[in-house]
Structure 1
Amino acid sequence: MPFDKVLIANRSEIAVRVMNACKDLGIETVAVYSDADKDAGHARFADEAYNIGPAPASESYLDQEAIIDVATQSGADAIHPGYGFLAENAEFARRVEETDGVTWIGPSSEAMTQLGEKTKARTVMRDADVPIVPGTTDPVESVDDVTAFADEHGYPVAIKAEGGGGGRGMKVVREPDEVEAQLESAKREGEAYFDNDSVYLERYLENPRHIEIQILADEHGNVRHLGERDCSLQRRHQKIIEEAPSPALDADMREEIAAAARHGLESTNYTNAGTVEFLVEDDEFYFLEVNTRIQVEHTVSEEITDIDVVKWQLRVAAGEELAFEQDDVTFNGHAIEFRINAENPADEFSPETGTLETYDPPGGIGVRLDDAIRQGDVVGGEYDSMIAKLIVHGTDRTECLARSRRAFEAFDVDGLSTTVPFHQLMLDDETFIDGAHTTKYLDEELSQHRLESAQEQWGAETNGTSPGDDYVGREFLVELGGRRFEMTLYQEEGEAGIFGPQADPASREAAVATSEGDSTSDSGLLDAAEGEAATSPPSTDSGDSNRIEAEMQGTILSVNVEEGDEVESGDIICVLEAMKMENDIVSKYDGTVTEIGVSEGDSVDMGDHLLTLD
C-alpha cells in the first residue's frame, strides 16, 4: 500500500475518481470542500471531509495554506491535486514537498516549473528537437509585444495563459484592434483560474487536429506512453469529446508522435503522469504543451490499455518502479469520452445552474460513468460546468459509436440543460462519424439550427422553462390505445385540479379513468381536471422587451456601455464570468441605454437586471 491516507485537493468527479483508486489500494481518503460544496458528492464519498473556506476558489480550493493545514491536521501522508485549481502550481507542489510527512503526488515542483509554464516547455522541446508551433519562449507584457509578433508571423495570433489549460486563458486575435481587449482577457482568466497572469504567443493554426500522448514515468528512469488521444472536437477551444486512438492518424505518424513525446520527457527527468499535446495540420505535427498532471480524458487511455493511470500516480509517488515495458502496452479497441456539462448547447454552450430533478445515467457492457452527483443535487455556478463524464468502449470505433448511442438513449437528466442532446447530435453527425472533424468544426461549421433542433428533440426539462412562480407543473405517464405518452401539465398554483395542492383525489381518479376509457383522444385527461391545465406553459412576457437580464449566475467582469450610449443588436454590453468562463453579453435590441443596473465586480443571479434600453 503506497500511502495510508491521501488528501485530494480538488472537488467533483476527479476527486471521486482519485478516491476510487485509493480505495482499491486500501488507502483512506480526505476531502476538502468550500461552503458552496458542503453537500457535494466528493465530500460525501470521502472517509473524512474538511471545510476550507467560502465559495470563491481563491478563498478555498486555491488556498494553499488551508489545504496543507488540513493535510497535517488529518494525518494525511500525501496530497493528490487532481486537475485544475492547484494541480499545475509549482509553488504549491514545492510547499507540499517541504512539508514533513506529506508526499506530493505528481511531477516534482522543479519539473512543473520547467514544463508547466508553456514558454519554458517550448524551449525544452525545441532543444530536444521536437517540432514546435512558431511563438514566443518568453512571456509577453504589452500590446506592442503582440502586434510586433503579428507583424512577423501574421494574424491570427493566439494569446495563451502560462498556467492555462482546457482552453481557459486562451484568446485569439484576428485584427490589430482586438489586441488590447484580448490580452487583458487572457491575463485576467489566467489570474482567476490558475493564479498566474503571465501569457505567451503562438501562431494560430487555422484547422488542426488536437492529438495528445499519455505518459507515465517513474523515479528509476522508465518512461512509457499509453498511446494517443484525439481531442479535436472542441467548442471555444475547450474539449468536449475525446477518443482513443485517433481516427485521423496513420500508423507512421502515430509512432512518430509517441516517440517524440517520450523523448521530450526523457530529457527532463520527468516523473509521474503527464500529457504531451500536439497540433497536427497538413501531415505535420507541432508540440503544443505539456500538462504536468492527470487529464480529464485520461479515462479513454485507461479503457484501451487496461492500465489504471491514477493508481500508477500513487505508486510512482511512493517510489515504486513501473511494472511494465513499453512493448507490454497493448491497445485494445476504441474508447470515447463525452463530457456531460451543465450547459445549453443551443445557447452558445452557456453555463446552466439548477437542481437535478432527474439524474438516471446509463449502464451496461462497455459503459463507464465518472461523476460525483446524484439526483436532487444542486449545480451552482461557482466552478467548472462539467458534472460527469460518460466513457464508452468497444472492440472498434463502429461498435463504440453504437454503444454510445445506446447509452445516451438511456441517459435521463432533468432540471437543467446539459450537453447530452449535443452528444446525441454528434452521434448522428456525418463529419464526426467519419472522424473528419478538426478543432474548428463546432465553432465554424456546425449550424446553430442543428444545435437548436437537438436541444428541442432531446433536451431536458429545466428549472428555467417553468411557466413562472404562479404555476406548477407535473409529469404524467399515460397510455392511449396501448401506447405510452409522457405529458407535462401546468396549472395555477393553489387552484384545485388533477395535481394542485387542493385537488380532490377523486378528480385524479376520474382523469385516469377517462384517459383509459377513450383511446382515440387525450382530451379526456384535461377535461376531467377541475382546475385550469395546459400542455404548454403560459406566456410570461412582461411587456418590458428592452430590459436586458442576466441569463446565468456569475460575476460582472466589465460593463462596456454608459447611460446615454446608443447600441445596436449584437453589441457587447458587458462581460460576465460564469463557471470560470468569460461570456459576452450582447444586446438583442437597438436603442439608447437609459439605466445600468450592475457594476464591475457585482455578482448576479439568473434574471437579474443588467440594463434597460429605450
Structure 2
Amino acid sequence: MFEKVLVANRGEIAVRVMRACEELGIDTVGVYSEADKHSGHVRHADEAYNVGPARAADSYLDQEAVIDAAEQAGADAIHPGYGFLAENADFAARVEGTDGITWVGPASDSMETLGEKTKARTVMEEAGVPIVPGTTDPAESADEVREFGDEHGYPVAIKAEGGGGGRGMKVVESADEADEQFESAKREGEAYFSNDSVYLERYLENPRHIEVQIIADHHGNVRHLGERDCSLQRRHQKVIEEGPSPALTDDLRERIGEAARQGVAAADYTNAGTVEFLVEEDPERDGELLGGDTNFYFLEVNTRIQVEHTVTEELTGIDIVKRQLRVAAGEQLDFSQEDVELEGHAMEFRINAENAAREFAPANSGSLETYDPPGGIGVRMDDALRQGDEVVTDYDSMIAKLVVWGEDRAECVDRSKRALAEYDVEGVVTIVPFHRLMLEDERFLAGEHTTKYLDDELDRDRLAEAQEKWGTGDAEAADDEEVTERDFTVEVNGKRFEVSLEERGAPAIPTPSSGGSGRMERPDVAEESEEESVTIEGDGETVAAEMQGTILSVDVAEGDEVAAGDVVCVLEAMKMENDVVADRGGVVSQVLVAEGDSVDMGDPLIVLE
C-alpha cells in the first residue's frame, strides 16, 4: 500500500479522498491555489503545497506544478478526484512516466479510448452494448449535421469528443441552426477539453439518465455496483441523484448493469468508473415501471470517481475510494458480483451556492456566518467547510453534498425532508430551498421526471416561492470584532505551514478579512485605487449579465439593429456557453464589454435605444 498520496483536487472531494487515505494509514498531501489558501481541504491535509494563482489553468490544471508538488512531498501516488485533471489522459500518462509515483485511476490509454466519445462508441458497439444512432467518426462541417438531420430527423445533438455533463453539447432543432451550433460546440470543446472534435447523435427528447458504477482490478475482475438515477438535471447538470432508480424493473436494471460490465471488460479498463446510459421513458406508463424490453443506449464512460459515488456507497456498504487505492496498489477485488447487494434507498443533494429562483445563478461571494449541517441516522455530509469560511467562487459552485439513506424510497424522502430542514446556512445563498421543493413535487415523488423536467416543465414561480419560504440569501457583513488570537499561514519553498500567534490585552492584529497569511494580501476595496466606472449614456435599456462569467464573444456593434430574442453576446459561466439575448428590439447605442472581459451578475453589457 502507498505511504503518501497527493490529492490533486480541492473542496469536499479532496477531503473525501483524504479520509479514505487516513483509514488506510496513508499520509496525505494537498495542493491549493491562492484563492484556496484557507479552504477546508488544505486544513485537512497532512501537508499542503501552493501550485499557483486562482485561475485554474495556472494552478489545479498546471500538470507540472502538481507533479512537482508530489515529488517535493515524497508522495508515491496521485489521486485526481473528479474534475480538473481527473479525466486528462495526458496527465495520467505523465504521472505514469514519473518514477516512484502511481496514478490512482485507469491507465492513460484506456482513458484516451473511453474519454473520446467516438472511440468509446466504437468500443461499446463492438462489445454488443446498444448505442444511440450517431457518428463514430468526427463531424467535419455543419453540412454533415444537416445530412444527419435529414436522415435521422431533428433535433440533432452535436457533442464534443472530450465533453461531459452537458459541456460541449449543442442541440440543433433545425437545419438553420446547424452552422451556429456546430461552431459553438467546437469552441466549447477546445476551451474546456483542448479538443475541438465533435460527433453527432440522434437527440432523445425525454430520456431518463441512468448510470452504473463499476470497478475493475488488474487481475481481470470487473464488478458493477448497481445503478443510480440522475434524471433530475438543469441544463444537463445533475442536482439530485438517487439509487436504485424508481422507474426500472429488476429485469431492466440487470440488463443495464450487465451491459456496463460487458463494455468495460471489452475496453480492458481498470479502477473505478461510471458507464452512463439514456433510457427511453414511456410518457404513458402511468405509474408502471419500465420493463426489460425498454430501449436504453450507451451515453459515455466517466473514467474517474463520480460526484454521486456516495449514493452507491450507501446502498452497497462498499467504500469505492478505498477500492480505488487498493486496485492502484495492485490488490485484487475482494468480492464477487454475487456479493453485491443494494439495500434500501439513497439520495444525494448537491448543495450549490446558487439561487434557483434566478435561473440557478451562482453566488459571486459569501461568508458562512452560520454553517450548521444536519445529522442523525441515515444522514451523511460530504463537505470541507466550517463556520466562518469564505466561499470560494472561482471554481464550481458546489460547496457540499448531503446524502440520505432510508430502508425504502418513502423513508429516504421523509428523512431527507428532515435533514434539509435542519440544514442551517447563513451568509451565502444555496439551493436547499429547491431541494425542499422537489421533495414535495408530485412528478419527482412519483419517479416520473426526465432530464427535461426542470428546464422545460417546472413552473418557475414555484422556485421563487420556495426561495421566499425557505431561503436565507446572502447575509449582511458582520461588524469586525477585535481579535487578539490568530492562526497564520506561511509558505517556505511553496510548502504550507501553520503558525499560531497570541497576544493578550493588545489591540487586534491587522489582517486581511479572509484570514491570516504569511503573504501580502489584496487590499480591501476601500483602499484600492479608484477604478474607472462604466458610464451609460442616454436613457436606453441595458442588457445585463444574469450571472458571473467571462465574455466569449460580442455579437453586435454600435448602430446595429436587434430584435427581441437576438443574441448580443456569449457569456461563459458554470463551464457552459450562455447566450445573452435582448429582451426587446432596438438599436445598439453602447457596447460596454469586449471579448475576454470578466463580468459580475447585474453588470451592464449592452445599451439599446
- Give SS of 2:430's match: coil
- Give SS of 1:316's match: helix
Which stretch shows the higher mean deviation, 587-596 or 141-150?
587-596
Normalised to the residue count of structure 2, the TM-score between the two structures is 0.85
Structure 2 vs 1, CA of residues 57 and 442 (structure 1 numbering), >3 Å: closer, same or farther?
same
1:318 is aligned, of 323, 329, 333, to: 329
Which amino acid in the other structure matches residue 423 of structure 1? H
Task: Answer yes or no: is 1:338 the counterpart of 2:333.
Answer: no
* Separation in 2, partners of 1:19, 1:82: 10
The Cα of 1:189 is off from its aligned counterpart by 2.3
* Separation in 1, partners of 2:304, 2:269: 11
Which amino acid in the other structure matches residue 69 of structure 2? V
State the Cα deviation string for residues 41-99 of structure 1 (Å, max 9, x = none).
Answer: 21221111111122222222211111111111111100111111111111111111010
* Separation in 1, partners of 2:462, 2:233: 16
State the Cα deviation string for residues 518-565 of structure 1 (Å, max 9, x = none).
Answer: xxxxxxxxxxxxxxxxxxxxxxxx996723433433211111221122
State the Cα deviation string for residues 103-133 of structure 1 (Å, max 9, x = none).
Answer: 0000101111221211111101100111110
Match of 1:439? 451
State the Cα deviation string for residues 315-355 of structure 1 (Å, max 9, x = none).
Answer: 00000000111111121100001111122211221222221
* Separation in 1, partners of 2:478, 2:302: 47
Which stretch shows the higher mean deviation, 191-200 or 365-374?
191-200
Q: For 1:138-287, what aligned pairs fall within 5 Å after superposition? A: 138-281=137-280, 282=282, 283-287=294-298
Structure 2 vs 1, CA of residues 72 and 240 (structure 1 numbering), >3 Å: closer, same or farther?
same
Which amino acid in the other structure matches residue 98 of structure 1? G
Match of 2:16? 17
Task: Answer yes or no: is 1:555 the counterpart of 2:550.
Answer: yes
Aligned 8 A contact 1:382 1:578 in 2: no
* Separation in 2, partners of 1:89, 1:195: 10
2:320 is aligned, of 287, 304, 309, to: 309
Aligned 8 A contact 2:365 2:393 in 1: no
1:422 is aligned, of 411, 434, 437, to: 434
The Cα of 1:379 is off from its aligned counterpart by 2.9
Which stretch shows the higher mean deviation, 29-38 or 255-264?
29-38
Which amino acid in the other structure matches residue 2 of structure 2? F
Aligned residues: 539
Match of 1:523? none
Aligned 8 A contact 1:383 1:580 in 2: no
Structure 2 vs 1, CA of residues 548 and 405 (structure 1 numbering), >3 Å: closer, same or farther?
same
Which amino acid in the other structure matches residue 111 of structure 1? S
Which amino acid in the other structure matches residue 445 of structure 1? E
Normalised to the residue count of structure 1, the TM-score between the two structures is 0.85
* Separation in 1, partners of 2:255, 2:219: 24
Match of 2:308? 297
The Cα of 1:185 is off from its aligned counterpart by 2.4
Which amino acid in the other structure matches residue 557 of structure 2? E
Which amino acid in the other structure matches residue 303 of structure 2? T
Structure 2 vs 1, CA of residues 473 and 65 (structure 1 numbering), >3 Å: closer, same or farther?
closer
Larger Rg: 1
Task: Answer yes or no: is 1:352 the counterpart of 2:363.
Answer: yes
The Cα of 1:201 is off from its aligned counterpart by 1.3
* Separation in 2, partners of 1:597, 1:185: 23
Aligned 8 A contact 2:364 2:600 in 1: no
The Cα of 1:206 is off from its aligned counterpart by 0.7
Task: Answer yes or no: is 1:582 the counterpart of 2:594.
Answer: no
Calculate percent identity across the aligned residue pairs: 71
* Separation in 1, partners of 2:425, 2:188: 30
Aligned 8 A contact 2:12 2:41 in 1: yes
Aligned 8 A contact 2:242 2:345 in 1: yes
* Separation in 2, partners of 1:147, 1:332: 47
Match of 2:597? 602
**Structure 1: 5+ residue runs without aligned partners?**
467-471, 475-541
Which is bigger in relative contact order (C-alpha 8 A, separation at least 6)? 2
* Separation in 1, partners of 2:572, 2:472: 24
Aligned 8 A contact 1:353 1:416 in 2: no
Match of 1:86? 85
* Separation in 1, partners of 2:169, 2:18: 31
Match of 2:532? none
Structure 2 vs 1, CA of residues 65 and 371 (structure 1 numbering), >3 Å: closer, same or farther?
same
The Cα of 1:580 is off from its aligned counterpart by 1.9
Aligned 8 A contact 2:430 2:473 in 1: no
* Separation in 2, partners of 1:259, 1:247: 19
Structure 2 vs 1, CA of residues 435 and 110 (structure 1 numbering), >3 Å: closer, same or farther?
same
Task: Answer yes or no: is 1:364 the counterpart of 2:376.
Answer: yes
Which stretch shows the higher mean deviation, 371-380 or 262-271?
371-380
Which amino acid in the other structure matches residue 325 of structure 1? S
The Cα of 1:473 is off from its aligned counterpart by 9.0
> What is the Cα-based RMSD across aligned positions, in Å?
1.9
Match of 2:64? 65
* Separation in 2, partners of 1:129, 1:230: 23
* Separation in 2, partners of 1:195, 1:374: 36
The Cα of 1:567 is off from its aligned counterpart by 3.3
Which stretch shows the higher mean deviation, 587-596 or 7-16?
587-596
- Give SS of 2:161's match: strand
* Separation in 2, partners of 1:348, 1:437: 19
* Separation in 2, partners of 1:302, 1:608: 43
The Cα of 1:362 is off from its aligned counterpart by 1.0
* Separation in 1, partners of 2:62, 2:147: 37
